[in-house]
């Protein structure tokens, strides 16, 4: 089944971060420019007649899908909220350790990382990516990932994490990780 030209044009406009000319759209869809112009007019009418949240606009010599100006206030309300900053490398590393070894204690995370994990774990806890999951036999708090973690990473469960064998580090990083894990293993045996 072939997609109608208007749907193909709509998809191309949706995918493009920049306005697209009718010529560019015709080339991508492998159709004549007059067909693209007719499809653009049909799309513009559709969005206007249906009172959709999107509008088709001609900007900077090309065509673009934009939010309907009538949704501006709601959009401002949504995007005025402070954005959560990206995870730091230490936080990402700590989160990966928790995800793959859960439940795992902060001292064990610190042994694997080779540095204190208190700040990173506290931030992950505060952001709701990890939660406390009881205590180890030595009384240390154990951490595991949360449902929010699963949703953010598009996972149904932690069983869907990519296999560690798929990780392909550089030889230098692999050596560094091997050293850390050996030290952590030795410390675990001694404890």
DSSP 114: T
| One domain, residues 93 and 134 | yes
pLDDT < 70 stretches in the chain = 1, 81-84, 169, 177, 181, 184-191
Distance CA 146, CA 98 (A): 11
> Is residue 83 in a domain?
no
* Domain extent for 55: 5-78
pTM, to two decimals: 0.51
Kindly state whether residues 52 and 124 are assigned to the same domain.
Answer: no
| Angstrom distance (rounded) from CA 39 to CA 48 | 14
Do 121 and 154 fall into the same domain? Answer: yes
- Residue 67's contacts (CB-CB under 8 Å, 6 or more residues apart) are 53, 54, 55, 75
Q: What is the pLDDT of residue 190?
A: 59
- Domain count for the chain: 2
């Amino acid at each position: 089944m072939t997609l109608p030209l208007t749907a193909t044009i709509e998809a191309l406009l949706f995918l493009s971060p920049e306005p697209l000319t009718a010529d560019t759209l015709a080339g991508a869809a492998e159709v004549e420019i007059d067909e693209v112009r007719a499809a653009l007019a049909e799309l513009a009418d559709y969005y206007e007649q249906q009172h959709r949240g999107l509008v088709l606009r001609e900007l900077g010599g090309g065509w673009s899908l934009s939010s309907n100006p009538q949704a501006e206030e709601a959009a401002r309300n949504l995007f005025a909220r402070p954005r959560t900053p990206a995870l730091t490398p230490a936080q990402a590393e700590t989160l990966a350790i928790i995800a793959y070894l859960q439940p795992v204690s902060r001292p064990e995370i610190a042994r694997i990382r080779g540095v204190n994990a208190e700040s990173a774990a506290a931030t992950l806890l505060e952001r709701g990516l990890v939660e406390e999951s009881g205590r180890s036999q030595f009384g240390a708090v154990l951490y595991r990932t949360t449902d929010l973690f699963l949703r953010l990473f598009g996972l149904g469960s932690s069983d869907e994490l990519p296999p560690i064998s798929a990780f392909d580090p550089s030889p230098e990083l692999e050596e560094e990780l091997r050293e850390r894990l050996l030290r952590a293993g030795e410390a675990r045996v001694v404890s």
